[in-house]
Structure 1
Amino acid sequence: MPSDFSVRALVILLLFSISVLIFHRYDGLQITLPLLSKNENFGFGSLSNNNVISNVVEQDGVPSVTCQLMEPSGYNYCGLSIELGENPKIGRDLSVFNAIELNIDIQAPTENTRVRFSFRNFNASYSDPDDFVSLKFNSIKYAPNSLNGSIKVPLNAFQVESWWLEEYTIGFDDAQLDLSNIPFVEIVTDDMKAVGTYVITVRNATLSGELISEQDLLKIILLVWLIVIILLITLQHNKLKTVSTTDPLTGLINRRGLEEWVSNNLPSFSIGAPLTMFYFDLDDFKKINDSFGHLVGDELLCRFSEKISSTIGSLPLSAHKYVFSRLSGDEFSLVLKGLNAQQIESLAKEIFHALKKRISLSSSTVNISLSLGIASSDQSASTFSSLMSRADSAMYYAKKSGKNQFKIFDENVSKDILFRKKVAEKVRTALKKNEFTLNFMPIYQASDLTIYGAEVLLRAGSESLKNIGPDIFIPIAEEFNIIKDIDLWVIENTFKLIDANRVYIQQNPLMFGINISSVELHNNYFPKEISKLLHKYKIPPEWIEMEITETSLIEADELSITVLNDIRNLGIRLSLDDFGTGYTAFNQLMRYPVACLKIDKSFVDDLTSTNESRKTMIKAILSIAKAYRLATVAEGIENIEQYKYVSERGCDMVQGYLFSKPLDWVSLTLLLAEPKEKRMALIQTNSTSHGSIRD
């Protein structure tokens, strides 16, 4: 869209163009040259041959010449000369004029006596200053008395006299009308044939023309339009480029702008100072948004960017070029040129020191914790993407090591990157070769330990992934964008198993809980893919429950809510796994179409400790779930006391090693065949030998 400035400029230019054309059309750009004007200091003289006596008289600025023809023999002429220059070589350029208005009277002994009006042009190629006849005759002939007044003659009606062309043997190029150097003008009789008195009076001889022709004016206007449009397009392009490379919230450059800056400043392998990238990620930024709202979160991002900018500005870095950028969300990048190892570490420490102070917002003050990764360019990191990949990996390493710290890319980080790349490749190979297997973690009704369902767990059966569990290869699969393939593999193979054991499952109802990755929340095709598989294997959707982790909702947006609703509309139940770890505000639960909350194992583990806050949290979760009519599952039950505590406080379901470890399908069917009384008896027997957990 054009800017308001561009629209105003075009409107002004349009009005100006129309005004200039109207002004020109009404002779606003007209020029004139009166050949009789005293202001021009033109001189008047008479012209005649030997048979004629002539005399020039000027009265009130009107010149006239009186001629007396004494002998009619031969060619006789008489007239008036208007001298435009003192030197026959140097005249006036009249080519800018296009017409002349003439008002000439002639008194003669014969009727309809004609006069010849000539512009005499000097040109060195054919003119001799000592021979006035050699000056070109650009002439018209007419009978003035037949017109009764003025006549306006276009200058292109003048012609070069043919006798002159023949006399001086003029070539084609010089035989054309030429008014570029006129030293004088002649008004003479055309062949005086009768004896008597001839009087020529020149009342007006005014040249007229335009400073510029309408055609040329249109060309200039079009040229101005072209220049203005190019300027406006350039301005608009620069403005759009600025907008496209600027973060609208903080005013910092964005990722695109950073990439341009880095690409322009990366040194060659042999010359130039290296670039160092600081990659910031705010720890637990989701807490701020959930606790105070997105407006406060946005304000915090602005205050953070100002804090870092002021910290950098207060340091002696004037000799170093640098740029500070907001990449996305709560991720920022600072790139500097020419820092040495000591300066890099010193700057990192200074940044963390500056962030120790709480940041004041409009409604509160908050602490900021961040994970920082640092990497410098070299021959192995000579592009923007490779430099950012290193800094990102170092940041990931810092976050994995406990957050609120910085990590400089080194051999350990490099090994970690190589390890993750190898694992990613092994995962791809295992998927292609179908080397994964499914295990099932039973879920029990808390009241009577009836098996309600089973959580589907992925296990690697390949030798290459031996001793590499899902806790390792799943995050790597997400990082390398393999997780969608894993999700579909698990879903389809679960459906295949259900289809192969359909009769058994109908006789022994079982809910299958399938974990899905957070990336699927931004995949609007995911519900359609599930629908296709449901129809392909004819799976009743009420047999399936999809589990999403609470932390996956950190980046949840309207698309995520739409995806979840589309899954629920298929008839599939949704469960929120690891609840309590993602700091989701309880009032936000209404936004998510979930039917069940799974209490994270970390809360259950602390039930036997003196950590009262964990017990309070479990009670709060159970209370909120009841208020929202959500089912609850306590994960990680490993002893009788934990089971009794959650079941007595209304938890609907339990799972954990107290009851069973993950099983293959055959083992699960054997477990299903056991009478539930056996499990209840085991619980009752064990409960007599253990104490209880008190609130």
Structure 2
Amino acid sequence: MFSDKNVKVIIGLFCLSIMAFLSHRLGIVDTSYPILINTNEKPKILINSIYVDANVDDKQGISIQCKLTKQEGYNFCGIGIPLTDGTRNNGLDLTKFNRLGAIIKYTTPSDKAKLKITFRNFNDTYSNLTDTVSLKFNSISYNPSLHELPVVIPFDALQVDNWWVEQYKVGFSDSQVELSNVSYLEILTDGMHTLGDYHIEIQCIVLYGQLITEANLLKLILLIWLITVIFLVTFQHNILKRMSITDSLTGLFNRQGISNWTNKKISSRVNRQKLYMFYLDLDDFKKVNDTYGHKVGDQLLKGFSQHIQNYLDCIENIQYSFARLSGDEFALVILGLKEGQIKNFAASLLCVWESPILLEEHEPYARASLGIAHLSEEINTFDELLARADSAMYYAKKDGKNRFKIFNQTVSQDIFFRKQTAEKIKNAIIQDKFYLNFMPIFDAKSLNMVSVEVLLRANDQTLQSIGPEVFIPIAEEYNLIKNIDLWVIEATFKQIKSEFSLLNLIPLIFCINISSVELHNPNFVKKLTELLELYQIKPQQIELEVTETSLVEADLMSVSTLQEINALGINLTLDDFGTGYTAFSQLINYPVSCLKIDKTFIDNLNSADKTKSTMIKAILSIAESYKLKTVGEGVEYYEQYSFLLEQGCDMIQGYFFCKPLSWENLKKSLNDPNQQKLRQEKIINLSKHSI
């Protein structure tokens, strides 16, 4: 699509075209050339036949007196007006003129007498300097008595005299009217058929024309339009091409731009040991957006990129390409650094953003993790190099953020391990080699089992040594988590339906973990609804758990998905609460009904540092304010249970009461009336020992 400037250019050119055409029609581009007839600088040539007496007076205009004395043969009388300095082959070019205007009075013995006007043109093809008659006769004859003065003669009416063509045996191509080198203008009588006096009085002769003909003007306008359109299309193409490789926010290359640049360098067979990729990812950028707003976040990204560019411009003997890939992710490709300089360069790069970035109203800090990879023989594309740098950056994040990691054998082995694990997960899904365990959740006061958390386990021997805490993140990385989520949900629904009678007598809520990926999956709620209807499951029997960290990057679509799930009648639990930096005030934005206090807070309740216990108290207090249920997970000791109960925690989950159970053992526990009593006795006995 053309830009506003291009549209303005086209409108302006259209207006100029119309103005040029109208100006031409109004005669603004007309030109004229008066032929000097009353000057002695160019002597006039009296022309007459043998039986004609003639004389000329050119003091005022030109007056030619002619007297036919004998009527025999072809007689003529007139004058030749030189249009040059006397050199016949150096005439005037009259091609830009299209008509002649003349005031010529002609008195004759007969009213039918005609006057002949001739432009004599010189051309080397048919003319001879020594022979005046060899100049071409471009002529027109007219009867002056039939025309008012001034008479206007169009050049289109001129014709080459036939007698001249025949006499000089001129070919067809040279027998056409030609006015490119006119030496003389002749005004003669066209035959004198009656004896007597003939008088020719020439008062004024003017040549009229146009600087450009209308046809040529139209051609010129069309040419200008063609050139302009080609220019605009080329210009627009270059703009679109530049836009396609440029990040609109920072003005840096985008992914396509840096990919093109890097692939050209790789194709040019640069020294592979001197090309390095740096993958930069800002740490905790979401906090900046949440704290200051997205406007400040955008300013921070621009300020961060400018800081890096300023630093890079100060380094000599390097070539670089810097790009914003997406969000808060950047890529830097450098050519010219030596292997021994990489660590120092990376450390210096980390120091660039040690100082706050000065913005309009704030001075936030930017922190970033770096992944570094160098071009090697087995790498042939930008994407392969980026994948290595991305993997190295992942490890820098794991090691504590705001540091760098160079891609090495350890990183390579881990990538291989994750790829292998992803393949094993895929096969396990296809071959149905997963099964479920169930972790009981108890009411903190009555110690009744009120719900169970559904846990995924692998039957496949290749995955048995790899726990869910390892293979679930890998499944998310390789886009397999959606299949796992649906498998867990459907397998749970099948178990519920198979034990319809038991669960009707002993109500139990099944808590199922779903990945943050589902919050951006437009088909998830639809599929969930279909499974509920297929297995005739009551929504009240199901509770879906999402981790608090999955809401760190929550957007409108995420919140909308949560609202759609809640609208089905399914409750939502926020798992691992306290680890995702969700502001307490933000809880009102999410349709959750329960908070799970993360195990890391409960593990350290007995430590001298009271920070964890203070945090738990704050979580429970806020939950009460928002009328949310709470679950303490990972409870392993009586003291932990006692503290949570005393602070008002609603439910307890952990090895202190029960480990994960198979479906069969869960049924036995539900059917055993003594289980609750045994738990209560355990609490009583432990409470006595703690006094």
TM tier, shorter chain? over 0.9
Q: Give the aligned partner of residue 520 of structure 2.
A: 522
The amino acid of 1:515's aligned partner reads N
Q: Give the aligned partner of residue 207 of structure 2.
A: 207
The amino acid of 2:228's aligned partner reads V
Counterpart Cα distance in 2 of 1:540 and 1:182: 107
Q: Structure 2 vs 1, CA of residues 41 and 470 (structure 1 numbering), >3 Å: closer, same or farther?
A: farther
Q: Does structure 2 retain, via aligned residues, the 8 Å contact 1:267–1:274?
A: no
Q: Does structure 2 retain, via aligned residues, the 8 Å contact 1:269–1:379?
A: no
Q: Give the 5 Å matches for 1:143-542.
A: 143-269=143-269, 274-314=274-314, 317-357=315-355, 368-542=366-540
Q: Give the aligned partner of residue 63 of structure 1.
A: 62
Name the SS for the 1:689 alignment partner. Answer: helix
The amino acid of 1:630's aligned partner reads L
Deviation at 1:303, TM superposition (A): 4.0
Deviation at 1:435, TM superposition (A): 1.2
2:560 pairs with 1:562: yes
2:73 pairs with 1:74: yes
Q: Does structure 1 retain, via aligned residues, the 8 Å contact 2:548–2:575?
A: yes
Q: Does structure 1 retain, via aligned residues, the 8 Å contact 2:38–2:62?
A: no
Q: Give the 5 Å matches for 1:664-679.
A: 664-675=662-673, 676-679=676-679
Name the SS for the 1:334 alignment partner. Answer: strand
TM-score of the superposition, structure 1-length normalised? 0.93
Name the SS for the 1:668 alignment partner. Answer: helix
Q: Give the aligned partner of residue 18 of structure 1.
A: 18
Deviation at 1:140, TM superposition (A): 1.2
Counterpart Cα distance in 2 of 1:518 and 1:638: 28
TM-score of the superposition, structure 2-length normalised? 0.94
Q: Does structure 2 retain, via aligned residues, the 8 Å contact 1:119–1:184?
A: yes
Deviation at 1:423, TM superposition (A): 0.9
Deviation string for 1:345-378 (max 9, x for gaps)? Answer: 1111112344444556666665554321101112
Q: Does structure 2 retain, via aligned residues, the 8 Å contact 1:45–1:56?
A: no
2:652 pairs with 1:654: yes
The amino acid of 2:526's aligned partner reads K
The amino acid of 2:470's aligned partner reads I
Indicate the larger mover: 8-17 or 535-544: 8-17
CA RMSD of aligned residues (A): 2.3
Deviation at 1:627, TM superposition (A): 0.5
Q: Structure 2 vs 1, CA of residues 291 and 92 (structure 1 numbering), >3 Å: closer, same or farther?
A: closer
Q: Structure 2 vs 1, CA of residues 366 and 611 (structure 1 numbering), >3 Å: closer, same or farther?
A: farther
Deviation at 1:244, TM superposition (A): 4.5
Counterpart Cα distance in 2 of 1:273 and 1:177: 77
Q: Give the 5 Å matches for 1:611-690.
A: 611-675=609-673, 676-690=676-690
Q: Gaps (5+ residues) in structure 2?
A: none
Deviation string for 1:507-533 (max 9, x for gaps)? Answer: 221111111111111222221121222
Name the SS for the 1:555 alignment partner. Answer: coil
Q: Give the aligned partner of residue 52 of structure 1.
A: 52
The amino acid of 1:346's aligned partner reads N
Q: Give the aligned partner of residue 108 of structure 2.
A: 108
Q: Structure 2 vs 1, CA of residues 47 and 252 (structure 1 numbering), >3 Å: closer, same or farther?
A: same
Name the SS for the 2:604 alignment partner. Answer: helix
Indicate the larger mover: 526-535 or 352-361: 352-361
Counterpart Cα distance in 1 of 2:246 and 2:279: 18
Counterpart Cα distance in 2 of 1:365 and 1:179: 81
Deviation at 1:243, TM superposition (A): 4.4
Aligned length: 688
Counterpart Cα distance in 2 of 1:3 and 1:419: 51
Counterpart Cα distance in 1 of 2:39 and 2:492: 108
Deviation string for 1:195-225 (max 9, x for gaps)? Answer: 2222112223222111112232222223223
Name the SS for the 1:449 alignment partner. Answer: coil
Deviation string for 1:12-69 (max 9, x for gaps)? Answer: 3333223222221111111112223669965421111222222222133x21222222
Q: Structure 2 vs 1, CA of residues 537 and 126 (structure 1 numbering), >3 Å: closer, same or farther?
A: same
Deviation at 1:87, TM superposition (A): 2.4
Name the SS for the 1:75 alignment partner. Answer: coil
Counterpart Cα distance in 2 of 1:360 and 1:194: 107
Counterpart Cα distance in 2 of 1:513 and 1:48: 125
Counterpart Cα distance in 2 of 1:271 and 1:250: 30
Counterpart Cα distance in 2 of 1:496 and 1:41: 119
Counterpart Cα distance in 1 of 2:151 and 2:273: 82
Deviation at 1:617, TM superposition (A): 0.5
Q: Does structure 2 retain, via aligned residues, the 8 Å contact 1:581–1:600?
A: yes
Deviation string for 1:107-129 (max 9, x for gaps)? Answer: 22222211111122222333333
Counterpart Cα distance in 1 of 2:271 and 2:285: 40
